[in-house]
Structure 1
């Protein structure tokens, strides 16, 4: 009786070690980054960051990869803007989206955008992993936010984002 229990226990232990040592999905990763908008275009004006004002975003989020090719991401990004000597948190962006691995370190993120300033829209993002370590990776992204609402004209922005994923 004791031998049967021992054999069953060893078999269960061997099976659990094999199952848990494999790369499994869903796979969860987190990240932190800094995003600088470069230029914002609208029907009323062309606004350039660093010249007309200074704005910076701090996207922080969680990616849940369903497989090696597709995943879901949720990001929160506070925006700090300095204009005429006054600095403030201008808005907070809630940014859920779909991730698609394109291969060779490239990923496409198609995000919905909901800002506490009352603006909303979409943000297509192309990301390239530039340094991959065992426990982290560094990446560069090119986001292209498109925003509507809050009694302002539609805008299109280009920016650059640098981050670390872990």
Structure 2
């Protein structure tokens, strides 16, 4: 073998070695992947046929969503969320509703996720909630997120309603 051929083989081996070692340092994601989260939700304003109701005016309602996300792939997943709501007014405070919120997750890229959720409330209301979610700070084992839930509710002898909310929390 000539010196030139030997050098070419050596350069090729070094290149392949560097290529494979850089690939080995990036861990492959495996699916299904399970993640949990907890947060705080503030319904801001609710619109219905006969009225517009704002939170923080005559009372304050806050919820604590807790959930489990099961990602089937990098793009699609399932989520089950459980949300107790507490209402405080001039007479005191109490848990006034509990929401079971299962749904589908669609990763939109760059930390954005769409959640399409069904909604079943102990108040007798039901409906659906589209949610847009953004991871705003990603750590090694967790991430902080903000979300805009848009609940549509029906039933229990009340007018149909639409709410604009704000949610934030931590996923792990």
> TM-score, with normalisation over the residues of structure 1?
0.86
Q: State the match for 1:74 in structure 2.
A: 80
Matched, 1:132 2:138: yes
Q: State the match for 1:151 in structure 2.
A: 157
Q: State the match for 1:114 in structure 2.
A: 120
Distance 1:44 1:86 in 2: 27
Q: State the match for 1:26 in structure 2.
A: 32
Distance 1:40 1:47 in 2: 5
Shift of 1:124: 0.2
1:92 equivalent among 81, 95, 98: 98
Shift of 1:84: 3.5
Aligned-partner SS, 1:52: coil
Query: Which is greater in Rg?
Result: 2
- CA RMSD of the aligned region, Å? 1.2
> Number of matched residues?
147
Q: State the match for 1:60 in structure 2.
A: 66
User: Structure 1: which 4+ aligned runs deviate by more than 2 Å?
Assistant: 83-86
Distance 1:156 1:105 in 2: 26
Q: Return 5+ residue gaps in structure 2 as ranges.
A: 1-23
Shift of 1:141: 0.1
Distance 1:82 1:150 in 2: 22
Q: Return 5+ residue gaps in structure 1 as ranges.
A: 1-17
Shift of 1:149: 0.5
Distance 1:41 1:84 in 2: 23
> TM-score, with normalisation over the residues of structure 2?
0.83
When residues 103 and 22 of structure 1 are mapped into structure 2, their CA distance, relative to the original with a 3 A threshold, is: closer
Q: State the match for 1:41 in structure 2.
A: 47
Distance 1:64 1:164 in 2: 16
